[in-house]
Structure 1
Amino acid sequence: MPDERTPLPYPLQGASALRPPAEWPELREKCPVARVTLPSGDEAALLTRYEDVRMALSDPRFSREGLARPDAARAAAGGSEDVFNSPMAKTLNAVGHERWRRMIGKWFTAKRMMALRPDMEAMADRLVDRMVADGAPADLVTGLAFPLPVYVICRMLGVPEDDRDRFKAWSDIFLNTTRYTREETAAAHRDFAAYMSRLVDGKRADPGDDLISLLLGGPGNSDNSDNPDNGAGTDEPLSEDALVATGQALLLAGHETTAGYIGLTVAHLLSDRRRWERLSADPRLVRQAVEEALRFDPNGSNFGMMRYTEEDTDLPGGRMAAGTTVVCSLAAANRDASTWQDAEEMDIGRSPNPHLAFGAGPHSCLGQPLARTEIQAALTVLLRRLPTLDLAVGTDALRSQSGLLTAPLRELPVTW
């Protein structure tokens, strides 16, 4: 590790797609609040210990909204307009975070997720049919991991499935920190917003059983039987701009991260095939295996979550000065040996498993019940349909997407 007075270039890189950065253990032990240089050239403080990260994500003195300030936004964005300072983010901030989460949360209930599970598995079966028909080897990313979440989120929002390639292109631009110019990113935001505006207009004229139509219906137009404290009947309907921004946010978050985690989960299970064989012998472990893959994977939340310190704050690992841009490394925190026994080992039966893959506190991922259900559905179908599934290449040949806030696999060659 470089001298602690010299900032580390961030994000840190592992030796391969499935291996964590070598610096993590030493950072957690000796420098839990480390200086790093972001892609923009700006400096930030990197947190790698579990307790520090959990506190920073939950403590209101560590603000997400503060990242929209001119000095912080450039650091967070890597030199381009990004999700923290985009028109979409500004619109949703104007709605009010708590109000927005309360309204959207009416859809992401346990009952709705359970109701979606059979449809997810049916779609996964159809995708596996195509893979089998085309023959082995196959790329699990293009064959299953990417199309399944896109199909699900398009169905939820009432988006025509034929448009999914457009969403993939927009998502790549929004999540990439280095590949696209400010002008290209701004144009993508405009094009995406224009599309969503047309979609909202169409739902207003012809509503259906989808999230956009539900939000257009205003307060009380939802099934609240399994969520009595969701604030039903207390909010005015979202404005046109807020509906457009909501559609953008959910389409962006609703497929890219989940697609990455499906591929990475399968890759980790197959990288030591004893894990796959144990799961095949006892499919009841699917839920625990998914949670352990979320904890164990070093790349799904590659960049981490950003925060801005509103005032001087003491963390277990050190003091944070007001005005500091903070990077919370969720993946590093999830390997903290002070929290988990055998933290560097993947135990598919591990329980409890309070990992931070979806964040913590008031800004934790709203769609995590959906993501968990999709990963479980994909894994369940693969275990049933392709019990002999195996990697078609060595683990060191797997490659991650570069320049994204997440680091999904480019491809996952498999055979059976």
Structure 2
Amino acid sequence: MEQSDGPQALNYPIPSTTALEPPAEWARLRQQCPVATVTLPSGDSASLLTRYDDVKQVLSDPRFTRLLNADDAARISDSDSGGVFNDSLATAIPQAGEEHQRWRRAVVKWFTAKRMGALRPGIEVMTEQLIDDMLDRGHPADLKAALAFPLPVWVICDLLGVPDSDRDKFAYWSDTMLNLTRYTQEEVTAAQTEFADYMSGHIAAKRTRPSDDLLSSLLDSADAQGGGLSDRELVATGQALLIAGHETTANMIGKMVAMLLADRRRWEQLVQDRSLVRSAVEEALRFDANPGFGMPRYIGEDAEVAGTVLPRGTTVVCSMAAANRDGNAFGGADEMDLGRSPNAHLAFGAGAHSCLGQALARTELQVVLEVLLRRLPSLELAVAAEDLRRLEGLVVGGLSEVPVRW
């Protein structure tokens, strides 16, 4: 099977006509060209995967690595660093083998079901407070600005033991480091430097004044075991949690609510049967057609995918969103089924690099949906669904605003 090549190469990310609908090319690529050559924002070429089995295969195959700073790897964006995936701070976290597993074991202890249960009441209180504030200001309101954006940054800052007064800084750094087009290279570099300097000082402060947060726990574990994570790894862990835990969840909250309100029957079904909240969250994650960039991987040796041999040095982009619409993996893939079970979507990736904070993201999404259904059963979009606008240039994808009324 041949890759699409030359003048046929698509620009990536592939645009869509409306914010909530998938690009028409997804279906064509899955059927006719599952390994397609695309041109990235940097101008470099990569191979795009859109089928469920192929995406899951690559994400689970340790030969496809996150070493995107290799000399022959494609740059994601047209900047010195090549984008957040190539950033030297982000790659300070071990990317493969036993060292990666060491880092993952140290951090994953914080994301247990027990810990998520302990965090849930606080997330509920903050959600209630943000909704109270939104109601006080009246409608129409932007649900993203009022609820979806501030909640996850509050949760991540709480997780890292960051004071309330510094949350606006974290929101800015998150947005800057994840945007492919909005900021200059100087602004991106400044944000990365400011974040690293802040976290270094924050870690030093936690050494002398520990509290009940993730960083204190990691530092305590390192002291007890005579090893653990280096300061550079701790700073990179903070960045990874901010990027993965704030911007992605903030945008997913907005998209989830927009998807449910775009077809009023979906929202009414949940109002009538709130036992569907958990499966509805999973289905929103699967159905999301605006996920941003996808997951890039680098192959350091020849490898075969979908009958195509990818030569050493190829950068592969796994479109989990396109894979999640694969009719060979999901019955009625283009329909939103709020009771879908099982639902083995790939929104959080697969394999050794699957999203570490997925339990936290699920908890936030479930809490937001539960509280909104209880507090605002009459919630509706204040604009037509087709008038919602995508947030351009962001690695994780989202809506620029979610206008609602009640």
The question of whether the paired residues in 1 share the 8 Å contact of 2:18 and 2:389 is answered with: yes
After TM superposition, give the deviation of residue 106 of structure 1 in Å: 0.9
After TM superposition, give the deviation of residue 375 of structure 1 in Å: 0.4
2:170 is equivalent to residue 167 of structure 1: yes
AA in 2 matched with 1:84:
F
* Aligned equivalent of 1:7: 9
| Cα distance in structure 2, aligned partners of 1:368 and 1:171 | 18
2:340 is equivalent to residue 339 of structure 1: no
* Aligned equivalent of 1:370: 360
Pairwise mapping of residues 280-291 of structure 1 onto structure 2 (< 5 A)? 280-291=271-282
After TM superposition, give the deviation of residue 327 of structure 1 in Å: 0.6
2:393 is equivalent to residue 415 of structure 1: no
The question of whether the paired residues in 1 share the 8 Å contact of 2:303 and 2:310 is answered with: yes
- Which piece of structure 1 moves more, 248-257 or 46-55? 248-257
After TM superposition, give the deviation of residue 216 of structure 1 in Å: 1.0
2:192 is equivalent to residue 189 of structure 1: yes
* Aligned equivalent of 1:17: 19
- Cα offsets for 1:255-282 (capped at 9, x unmatched): 1000011010000000001000001111
| Cα distance in structure 2, aligned partners of 1:325 and 1:61 | 12
| Cα distance in structure 1, aligned partners of 2:151 and 2:299 | 38
* 1:29 partner SS: helix
AA in 2 matched with 1:122:
V
After TM superposition, give the deviation of residue 413 of structure 1 in Å: 0.5
Structure 2: state its 5+ residue gaps: none
* Aligned equivalent of 1:178: 181
2:371 is equivalent to residue 381 of structure 1: yes
After TM superposition, give the deviation of residue 219 of structure 1 in Å: 4.8
AA in 2 matched with 1:58:
S
Structure 1: state its 5+ residue gaps: 222-232
* Aligned equivalent of 2:392: 402
2:302 is equivalent to residue 312 of structure 1: yes
The question of whether the paired residues in 1 share the 8 Å contact of 2:222 and 2:229 is answered with: no
* Aligned equivalent of 1:32: 34
* Aligned equivalent of 2:92: 91
Pick from 39, 43, 46 the counterpart of residue 44 of structure 1.
46
- Cα offsets for 1:94-129 (capped at 9, x unmatched): 893111111000101111011111111111011111
After TM superposition, give the deviation of residue 378 of structure 1 in Å: 0.4
| Cα distance in structure 1, aligned partners of 2:183 and 2:342 | 41
| Cα distance in structure 1, aligned partners of 2:307 and 2:124 | 44
| Cα distance in structure 1, aligned partners of 2:135 and 2:249 | 23
* Aligned equivalent of 1:132: 135
The question of whether the paired residues in 1 share the 8 Å contact of 2:90 and 2:239 is answered with: no
**TM-score, structure 2 as length reference:** 0.95
After TM superposition, give the deviation of residue 4 of structure 1 in Å: 5.5
After TM superposition, give the deviation of residue 342 of structure 1 in Å: 0.8
* Aligned equivalent of 1:259: 250
| Cα distance in structure 2, aligned partners of 1:332 and 1:318 | 19
The question of whether the paired residues in 1 share the 8 Å contact of 2:142 and 2:401 is answered with: yes
After TM superposition, give the deviation of residue 16 of structure 1 in Å: 0.8
| Cα distance in structure 1, aligned partners of 2:38 and 2:356 | 29
Name the CA shift for 1:303/1:90 in 2 (closer, same or farther; >3 Å).
closer
After TM superposition, give the deviation of residue 93 of structure 1 in Å: 2.4
Name the CA shift for 1:18/1:80 in 2 (closer, same or farther; >3 Å).
farther
* 1:308 partner SS: strand
- Which piece of structure 1 moves more, 92-101 or 133-142? 92-101
Pairwise mapping of residues 342-361 of structure 1 onto structure 2 (< 5 A)? 342-361=332-351
2:201 is equivalent to residue 211 of structure 1: no
The question of whether the paired residues in 2 share the 8 Å contact of 1:33 and 1:317 is answered with: no
After TM superposition, give the deviation of residue 317 of structure 1 in Å: 5.0
The question of whether the paired residues in 2 share the 8 Å contact of 1:32 and 1:317 is answered with: no
| Cα distance in structure 2, aligned partners of 1:57 and 1:78 | 25
After TM superposition, give the deviation of residue 75 of structure 1 in Å: 2.0
* Aligned equivalent of 1:230: none
Name the CA shift for 1:295/1:78 in 2 (closer, same or farther; >3 Å).
farther
- Which piece of structure 1 moves more, 393-402 or 3-12? 3-12
Pick from 317, 323, 337 the counterpart of residue 313 of structure 2.
323
2:125 is equivalent to residue 147 of structure 1: no
Query: 4+ runs of 1 displaced by more than 4 Å?
Result: none
2:246 is equivalent to residue 245 of structure 1: no
* Aligned equivalent of 1:391: 381
The question of whether the paired residues in 1 share the 8 Å contact of 2:35 and 2:306 is answered with: no
After TM superposition, give the deviation of residue 319 of structure 1 in Å: 2.5
| Cα distance in structure 2, aligned partners of 1:114 and 1:399 | 35
The question of whether the paired residues in 2 share the 8 Å contact of 1:313 and 1:320 is answered with: yes
AA in 1 matched with 2:145:
T
CA RMSD of the aligned region, Å?
1.8
**TM-score, structure 1 as length reference:** 0.93
* 2:89 partner SS: helix
The question of whether the paired residues in 1 share the 8 Å contact of 2:295 and 2:320 is answered with: yes
After TM superposition, give the deviation of residue 220 of structure 1 in Å: 9.2
Percent of paired sites with the same residue: 58
* Aligned equivalent of 1:202: 205
| Cα distance in structure 1, aligned partners of 2:250 and 2:212 | 24
* Aligned equivalent of 1:229: none
